[in-house]
Chains A and B, each alone.
Chain A
Amino acid sequence: MGKIWRISGPVIIAEDMRGSQVYEVVEIGDERLNGEIIGLEQDKAVIQVYEDTVGLTVGEKVTRTGEILMAELGPGLVGNIYDGVQRSLVTMKDEVGDFLHRGVRTHALDREKKWRFMPGVKAGTRVEGGDIIGTVQETGLIEHRIMVPPGMSGVIDSIEEGDYTVEETVAMLESNGKTRPLTLMQRWPARKPRPYKRRFDPVDLLVTGTRIIDYLFPLALGGKAAIPGGFGTGKTVNLQQMARWSQTQLNIYVGCGERGNEMADVLHSFKELKDPGSGRYLQEKEIFIANTSNMPVVAREISIFIGITMAEYYRDMGYDILLVADSTSRWAEAMREIGARLEETPGEEGFPTYLGSRLSAFYERSGKVECLGSPDRVGSATVIGAVSPPGADFSEPVTQNTLRIVDALYSLDVALANRRHFPTINWLQSYSKYADSVDTWWEKVSPDYTEVRNQALITLQKEAELEEIVRLVGPEALPENDKLLLLISRMIREDFLMQSAYHPVDTYSDPKRSHLMLSIIMKFNDFARGMAETGMMVSEISASRIKQRISRMKDVPDNEIDQYIDSIRQDMAGGAASLEQGGV
């Protein structure tokens, strides 16, 4: 057992620690505060402490646990709310009340609760790491597949249906004459990626329900993306929208160094909102990690790894998982703070020199994989991280290091936020490298996807080029064809890209709906061009009823949208007559 030798903020140094290992978990003082060894020198260990160190004294005991920091994995994770070191905040609320006093210990998974286990293999079956031996219905939406932990193998000696706690033996595994119990729960070192058979390229669209993402800058299952933006540009709302509506089996929401009220809002709304596909409460497909900005800073660092470990675990069952992290900047700041206490030579803006590698250690754990074990299955973990650049200046280290890693960028724009154009994803600066690989997916929805998308992007690009001129001479001085271009680009922006998270219908737009909406605007473009050639003024076209009907399409519910768009199409087929008849 060691003793505290020095205390400096969240970092302590302990002596008499010979034999310990880096990343080993320790318990500090009588309150048994949790800490993790981050460096060793002779008999001294540098420890980052996951709780407030105020009041600790030199000489207090430091106890080694012999273990590195593990995530608990098993039924009971879904619907739960954890702090950064995976203590259940629900349990803490029940046991210690509304405030987070330090030194409280809880298990991540309830030790009392019984789960109905249905075996999937028989005694005598030879199994290895990753094999599914049975299932537990974790929530109405999640069938929890119980897997042999990676690295273990042998013959199932006994296995039985029944009600079990996470610690009780559901099966015995025999290998080399030794039998070992299998339980519903396994533990995995949070900082270490879980193994899989092989990786696939991400080619299937992850449907988020946000039009500008799905249509213009699509994200693929197993992909990695970043969403940087100044304060109030919509990072949180966007991530919440994705965690709500994404067509994935399970979502993990990591609130890292952000607001308590926001977490409260997420927690309450997910209890009330229903999953569009199944009609069941969203809470049944969600895990929350809430490590707000006023909770201990050091725990921010590990919370992201706890989250991604859970994502990999469910991925290994053969599911598609989305993890959103809000905000990776607060996570990086935690590393900076610890680094400063260690008197390491800092890198740019005081961040540790390993900022980039730590960021990739997180993002690189995304991916679409063939899972370990049988039956054969494919799972994916998609990762989206918010970045909060100081002063909305993207040249800062966290944004820059992140951009080197991710394959899709949703760049949020303060100017758009001030204009209340939401989502504020800037269409000129954002990109997705998945656009080319998911077009096959899209073309199944509609063969002209690529063409419509390109047309829209080109129109927006041309609008940006015209803007300079407009500022100088005003829009009225432009020739008619440029005015038309501005009309169409404005329609793309307002009637397609703008999408309120709070609109009852428009909050979620499925791919088919998105396609109908953009393609009718591009059809209108062709139609208007034809009208303009016959000498009609753009101002007249703009005031037409057809145009107004297009502006209303966001309000049209999903079950009426086909018909609505169809009738606009028919009106346009009527040519100029239809315009006049509609009335200006």
Chain B
Amino acid sequence: MDSMQLFTRQTKAISTARRSLLIIESIPGIQFSEIVDVELGTGEVRSGQVIEVGKGTTVVQVFGGVSEVDLLDSKVRYKGETLKLPLSPDILGRIFDGSGKPIDGGPPIISQKYQDINGVPANPASRMPPAEFIETGISAIDGLNVLVRGQKLPIFSGSGLPHNKIAAQIIRQASLKGKSDDFAIVFGAIGVSYDDAAYFINNLEETGALSRAVGFINTASSPVIERLSTPRLALTAAEYLAWEMDMHVLVILTDITNYADALRELAAMRGEIPSRRGYPGYMYTDLASLYERAGRISGREGSVTILPILTMPDDDITHPIPDLTGYITEGQIVLSRPLDRKRIYPPIDVFLSLSRMMKEGIGEGKTREDHNNVFMQSYAMYAEGNYLREITTVIGSEALTDRDKVYLEAADRFERDFIAQAEHSRRTVEDTLSVAWDIFSMLPEEDLKLINEKYIKKYLPEPSKSE
């Protein structure tokens, strides 16, 4: 029966090969979206997928293109399934490629459990609103753009900006907090250089986090189609760890820009009508099918938190990749080139960054009672200082009042002492808040309008200390 099955599920009747598509005479039983192997006359095997099937003809997209396909000798074998990933606790500590094969020299994963990498949407009625603080040890995040479990919060970066360093710092530091046994990192590298991939893996090794991590690596030189499967493999592993092994999983996906470009490339090869800047019209939905796999489910212990990283082409936040991402994620951490030029690390743009889930994750019992007040006052202070900076570039500094000068100085200190920190410094949320309080002590006390007097009494350092 099996060999019979194999026999009938194979055909040579290819009628057209154009761009990346094959048009093939249909045989019975072809499933929409199933995976195929295309065997060339040379014996080379490429994989493909059924993208349309009809009674007369079937359309298959060949990943890797149709060059050298000939209409006489090439064969198409239907595999009868979509891409699946074997899952077991043994995936922890392992590294795979973008098709799910181990590339760390270890044995294949043996499991009865094969999961479709596209996942199944969570019932909105089963979801729990994310609310638990994740301490990253980075002040600009923990103080002003708090990340919570189950959130999806991207880093919008630009080429040459230190997004990888920041991500590595988060991986190092976030995994230290809390019970380490229920924490896991899943890392999906999409179309990145060997160096970048190696950087992350070494980082995981050095901190000993590798045993609690799973990596899926698609380098720039590996097949483009695997840019699409890499994040899905990563998220399938993450969901398994979260929903079945009760772990809190942090998923890092980098670089989503390579993902979107692969999506565009494959859509163009299918001859689809493009939308903005050549990206397919369904890119919002496609990206959502990744990002929406973050969350919490009521009655289950684990969580999936996603930190996608993308480089904005031309630093343009309205480009479809950051734009559609921003429409799906719960805020964004935006990196700033001007801050980077000033050698501020991490160069996080406080005005453009926002965590939409922050208010759920902070306050008494979660971080500290004064957190929200400190956040609002810091923001207002920095905004005012920044506004004055802009004004002085136009009208000079003569017109500034003494109060104005204090604010200018406060903005500088805010960048130097609060936003900036060493790559290996891990600040607790208390440390972060006290840096802010130190800077507040420069301001006239009556200016601290956004802070409850109770907290001013409790946390504002004595003037003598700050002078």
Query: What is the interface of chain A, defined by CB distance below 8 A to chain B?
Result: 5-9, 13, 15, 53-59, 81, 89-90, 92-93, 97-101, 230-232, 255, 257, 259-261, 263-265, 267-268, 290, 292-295, 297, 330, 333, 336-337, 340, 346, 349-350, 388, 390-393, 418-420, 471-474, 476-477, 502
Asked if A340 meets B328 with Cβ closer than 8 Å, knowing A100-B121, A392-B318, the reply is no
Q: Would you mind naming 11 contact pairs between A and B with Cβ atoms under 8 Å apart?
A: A6-B52, A13-B54, A259-B292, A259-B328, A261-B130, A264-B128, A293-B284, A333-B284, A337-B285, A340-B273, A391-B318
Asked if A340 meets B281 with Cβ closer than 8 Å, knowing A232-B331, A264-B127, the reply is yes
Q: For the complex, what is the distance from the CA of A265 to the CA of B300, rounded to whole Å?
A: 17
Q: For the complex, what is the distance from the CA of A172 to the CA of B356, rounded to whole Å?
A: 54
Q: For the complex, what is the distance from the CA of A371 to the CA of B273, rounded to whole Å?
A: 46
B32 interfacial contact with A, CB 8 Å: yes
B4 interfacial contact with A, CB 8 Å: no
B203 interfacial contact with A, CB 8 Å: no
> For residue A5, which residues in chain B have a CB less than 8 angstroms away from its CB?
54-55
Size category of the B interface is: 35 or more
Query: What is the interface of chain B, defined by CB distance below 8 A to chain A?
Result: 26, 28-34, 51-55, 82, 118, 120-130, 150-151, 243, 272-276, 281-282, 284-285, 288-289, 292-295, 297, 299-300, 318-320, 323-324, 326-328, 330-332, 351-352, 354, 356-357, 359-360, 379, 383, 391, 394-395, 399
A474 touches B391 (CB 8 A): yes
Q: For the complex, what is the distance from the CA of A58 to the CA of B318, rounded to whole Å?
A: 42
> For residue B125, which residues in chain A have a CB less than 8 angstroms away from its CB?
81, 89-90, 92-93, 267, 290
Q: For the complex, what is the distance from the CA of A473 to the CA of B395, rounded to whole Å?
A: 6
Q: How far is the CB of B63 from chain A (nearest CB, A)?
A: 17
A390 touches B32 (CB 8 A): no
Q: How far is the CB of A108 from chain B (nearest CB, A)?
A: 14
Asked if A263 meets B127 with Cβ closer than 8 Å, knowing A7-B52, A7-B54, the reply is yes
> For residue B354, which residues in chain A have a CB less than 8 angstroms away from its CB?
232
Q: How far is the CB of B69 from chain A (nearest CB, A)?
A: 22
When A and B form their complex, which 3 residue pairs have the shortest distance between CB atoms, in order from nearest?
A293-B288, A6-B54, A391-B318
Q: How far is the CB of B336 from chain A (nearest CB, A)?
A: 13
Asked if A58 meets B394 with Cβ closer than 8 Å, knowing A99-B120, A260-B292, the reply is no
A337 touches B282 (CB 8 A): yes
Asked if A81 meets B318 with Cβ closer than 8 Å, knowing A7-B32, A55-B34, A259-B330, the reply is no
B121 touches A292 (CB 8 A): yes
> For residue A391, which residues in chain B have a CB less than 8 angstroms away from its CB?
276, 318-320, 323
> For residue B357, which residues in chain A have a CB less than 8 angstroms away from its CB?
261
Which of chain A's residues has its CB closest to B351's CB? A418
From B243, B282, B295, give the contact of A260 (CB < 8 A): B295
Of A58, A59, A471, chain B has the most CB atoms within 10 Å of the CB of A58
Q: How far is the CB of A553 from chain B (nearest CB, A)?
A: 14
> For residue A92, which residues in chain B have a CB less than 8 angstroms away from its CB?
123, 125
Q: For the complex, what is the distance from the CA of A297 to the CA of B121, rounded to whole Å?
A: 12
> For residue A290, which residues in chain B have a CB less than 8 angstroms away from its CB?
124-125
B30 touches A58 (CB 8 A): yes
Which of chain A's residues has its CB closest to B116's CB? A54
Q: For the complex, what is the distance from the CA of A477 to the CA of B284, rounded to whole Å?
A: 48
> For residue A7, which residues in chain B have a CB less than 8 angstroms away from its CB?
32, 52-54
From B29, B124, B273, B282, give the contact of A292 (CB < 8 A): B124
Of A255, A260, A346, A476, chain B has the most CB atoms within 10 Å of the CB of A260
Asked if A57 meets B32 with Cβ closer than 8 Å, knowing A293-B292, A346-B273, A474-B394, the reply is yes
Q: How far is the CB of B414 from chain A (nearest CB, A)?
A: 16
A263 touches B124 (CB 8 A): yes
B281 touches A293 (CB 8 A): no
Q: How far is the CB of A478 from chain B (nearest CB, A)?
A: 12
A54 touches B276 (CB 8 A): no
> For residue A292, which residues in chain B have a CB less than 8 angstroms away from its CB?
121, 124, 288, 292
Known: A15-B55, A267-B124. 5 other contacts (CB 8 A): A99-B121, A261-B130, A267-B125, A293-B288, A474-B399
> For residue B120, which residues in chain A have a CB less than 8 angstroms away from its CB?
99-101
Q: For the complex, what is the distance from the CA of A346 to the CA of B281, rounded to whole Å?
A: 12
Which of chain B's residues has its CB closest to A58's CB? B55
Q: For the complex, what is the distance from the CA of A393 to the CA of B323, rounded to whole Å?
A: 11
Which of chain A's residues has its CB closest to B151's CB? A261
Q: For the complex, what is the distance from the CA of A255 to the CA of B127, rounded to whole Å?
A: 15
Q: How far is the CB of A56 from chain B (nearest CB, A)?
A: 5
A471 touches B328 (CB 8 A): no
> For residue A93, which residues in chain B have a CB less than 8 angstroms away from its CB?
123, 125-126
A390 touches B292 (CB 8 A): no
A261 touches B28 (CB 8 A): no
Which of chain B's residues has its CB closest to A54's CB? B33
A340 touches B331 (CB 8 A): no
> For residue A471, which residues in chain B have a CB less than 8 angstroms away from its CB?
394
From A53, A89, A268, A472, give the contact of B32 (CB < 8 A): A53
